[in-house]
Structure 1
């Protein structure tokens, strides 16, 4: 029982699974309701049983088939439910979102199957609850009842080698003694500096806005088209971090020329229409991470937004990980994914934990 079989609920396109697989874990089962993410996942994890559908419709025999198939493994259940309902970006106080309760639907599986390990990843706001729901509190209560030891907190993906600034809430739980969040591996006070945009994408071939790289050895290196106005805007932005504050006001979007009662100009989101810096980590990727107007997603020097492949690299996906769907769908899959480098670090921590159980460390 020295191997771990991963059961990845709300898997999306496979960021958690990719990191865990790289750490040496076996990916036994995955579930997601999004069709394009499902196609991407199946393509990249052909040996994993995939359930495309709602967790509420999951037939227990399908899950139990995989538990039996991997009966010589320890089991790890992970749930990285859609994070938007708990994000600080969501400001509509009366907005009701059925995704708020998804993590609670994971709890009965913990009770019934009592996996050896549990992993949760989400936005930092998860631990605060929302709209009267506290799924994390309910989950931790169940974990304690069934004898799990756990550690949880907010971590930064860049501290584990991701070339982007992204704070996430993680929880690790074990039925085999105390397990802790791993120590950071990268940073200012570390032997390993933060990875940068240059580290991640500098070697990729140049392409124009709206162009797809034709080489067969590199998939998904495709950039969104730009309007004539946005092309003027990015050309007016200096390389390596330039943005809209450099433009002549004739190029400003109307929303940034509004003034309030005091005559102050609306500042808007400061990163919108910005270029990435070469020698810094990228800002956190969103579901619109290939859109020039929706964040600091302009290429550091080429006159376009970053491509799907560049976004994938910033999220930690290897070049052999191929995405399916429309351009917008691929961006959504990447933006929603768990950073692969973060998942890799957590997967290695579970491996080290097993070695401690077996007396190897």
Structure 2
């Protein structure tokens, strides 16, 4: 091989045959080998293909996830001036023409740092892992493992229902077959099971529905793992890692975060939102200001690492930073959205804050329109498509530049136990050197499942990606319906000539001149619930409360009352297409549509009218729809409360994402570190901050 060592991990141009003909393709050598045949010896290289991307810097290449090949050396046409940068080494420090830092999974919108030894091929590791997860392995104790989990006789397991929108079924393993293997192949891949029926949210086994034999490919995991639950409970009783929430609004994401973290820093420029945050998070440091102003104050500080009195925490203090910058510039509900909307510039601000504070994790939330491609001809604005197709691409590009791994997904809150089908875009990022977890698997069935459809690159097909595995729209638990979410709240109606529910009082919905916009229609004081909790969702949201507050709406105009009293169709059901969604009732057996910032009918909100009470939904009901606990206190007028609720990150989906980070990253580290009590100091010792980072 002579000077072959100088080629180790070099980038090459290799001439390959493709369906479009012969072309040169870039690749990085992973292994040099000598292949002997019966009549000759051939020298080959195992390579991982490289590709460019619109989110990369100039001359940056990406390892193409899962794509590798062994090719004869004679196909090499040129050696490129290239380096694979290790973690923590800036791209600006290299003198090579080309460099790579990340593995790019274009199919699943995932950018991560290479793991393992330098010579390990990501493509081979991926295929090996994929093979291992999909094939049955025999355990020494008589059980078996598949998809990374071990099973034994008498285990309770979930089974795929094979029907979109339906929950998984539950069964108990009665018999593990005697696997007969030959050359590693499993000849029998079925297990004998006892079908079971569960009550509510999977709390109790009610009855046995029959026995049968099912293929192992239908198994979707164990019902519970008591050991992991106990470890998680012990971890959360220790000192908690710190969370920050910027553009916090009414605090939806912070409510989800406080189950796992200590929320210590919050920023919002709305005084009413800040008053709400101060009431519910008294231990947090809350800045009522524009984040851009706080960032500017930090820039002018003499020492950004020790900023006494600064509203932003010191670098290294925050474990996870969440931001939901204004979405109106991207929202489909905004008919006048524009690339030049000043609210869109907040993305640049929050990413500069990320680079400044260096949180271990960063979660960005926005509307699906955040990934919308802007077009000069149709949108009337100029977009530099050589660097950025859309704001989501821009966010990924800047995160990679400051050495954060990232993944992107479109998620629906209903897949995580919410009665609202609120679809939002999430970017989850982690500093290089820290494991970037997957987005959480759906916990509930969702009949209206949405795929992530996103393409960074021009000319590439967009691929539908569903979160979870198995049949799209399925999950361990049944979907939470609109009626199940709020049926324990006492009924009331607007006074009128027709009534749907005679069990509750009726109130005049007209404006009271002496109170003006502060006119409240409904129960003006806390009122007892109409029944005990009827399901797990109501039980969780009620907590220890015995009364519910804010069970009233704002006043309604005569036009709005005419819409409410004339409503006769459900949102989402076929028929009567001439009736707008904003003039329909919510289907009690379906989900709530995405909450808007106003609860008034006749606007942008689909299904704003109660199905069996002549009125719109109260503030208390809107809190339930968004996953907000009943004891959470909202400040301001009714319009202020409606606006804060409509702008919130859904609590249920936020909690699921934060829980995934804890379970996939923090909990394994904590066990390995010896279960330390001082979690923050030990985590930072094991995951030091790169203090040399500069403020972009």
In the alignment, the residues of structure 1 paired with residue 239 and residue 280 of structure 2 have an alpha-carbon distance, to the nearest angstrom, of: 25
CA distances 1:101-141 after superposition (whole Å, capped 9, x unpaired): 10110122222221111001110111236554744434322
Label 1:76 to 1:292 Cα distance change in 2 as closer, same or farther (>3 A): same
Within 5 A, what are the aligned runs for 1:211-290? Answer: 211-213=521-523, 214-215=525-526, 217-238=547-568, 267=578, 270-288=580-598, 290=599
Label 1:235 to 1:89 Cα distance change in 2 as closer, same or farther (>3 A): closer
**Which residue pairs with 1:205 in the alignment?**
490
Label 1:45 to 1:242 Cα distance change in 2 as closer, same or farther (>3 A): same
* Aligned mate of 1:55, from 291, 316, 337: 291
SS at match of 1:223: strand
Label 1:346 to 1:333 Cα distance change in 2 as closer, same or farther (>3 A): same
Structure 1 range deviating more: 323-332 or 135-144: 135-144
CA distances 1:308-331 after superposition (whole Å, capped 9, x unpaired): 111111000000111111221211
Q: Does 1:20 align with 2:350?
A: no
Indicate if the aligned counterparts of 2:314 and 2:357 stay in contact, CA closer than 8 A. no
Higher-Rg structure is 2
Label 1:182 to 1:2 Cα distance change in 2 as closer, same or farther (>3 A): farther
**Corresponding residue pairs, total:** 335
**Which residue pairs with 1:356 in the alignment?**
668
CA distances 1:267-307 after superposition (whole Å, capped 9, x unpaired): 57x2112111111110110111x212223111111111001
Label 1:183 to 1:360 Cα distance change in 2 as closer, same or farther (>3 A): farther
Indicate if the aligned counterparts of 1:148 and 1:177 stay in contact, CA closer than 8 A. no
* Aligned mate of 2:282, from 46, 57, 73: 46
Label 1:242 to 1:54 Cα distance change in 2 as closer, same or farther (>3 A): closer
Indicate if the aligned counterparts of 2:287 and 2:311 stay in contact, CA closer than 8 A. no
SS at match of 1:318: coil
Within 5 A, what are the aligned runs for 1:165-176? Answer: 165-175=421-431, 176=434
Moved over 6 A (4+): none
The structure with the greater share of residues assigned to strand is: 2
Structure 2, unpaired ranges of 5+:
1-237, 299-306, 375-380, 447-473, 495-508, 510-520, 528-546, 674-696
Label 1:135 to 1:197 Cα distance change in 2 as closer, same or farther (>3 A): same
**Which residue pairs with 2:247 in the alignment?**
10
Indicate if the aligned counterparts of 1:166 and 1:284 stay in contact, CA closer than 8 A. yes
Indicate if the aligned counterparts of 2:408 and 2:428 stay in contact, CA closer than 8 A. yes
Q: Does 1:86 align with 2:330?
A: yes
Structure 1 range deviating more: 55-64 or 119-128: 55-64
Q: Does 1:184 align with 2:514?
A: no
**Which residue pairs with 1:161 in the alignment?**
417
Normalising by structure 1, we get a TM-score of 0.84
Q: Aligned-residue CA RMSD in angstroms? A: 2.8
The structure with the greater share of residues assigned to helix is: 1
Normalising by structure 2, we get a TM-score of 0.45
Within 5 A, what are the aligned runs for 1:109-120? Answer: 109-120=353-364
Label 1:308 to 1:119 Cα distance change in 2 as closer, same or farther (>3 A): same
In the alignment, the residues of structure 2 paired with residue 65 and residue 281 of structure 1 have an alpha-carbon distance, to the nearest angstrom, of: 39
* Aligned mate of 2:602, from 272, 293, 316: 293
Higher relative contact order (CA 8 A, sep 6+): 1
* Aligned mate of 2:400, from 144, 149, 154: 144
Label 1:326 to 1:25 Cα distance change in 2 as closer, same or farther (>3 A): same
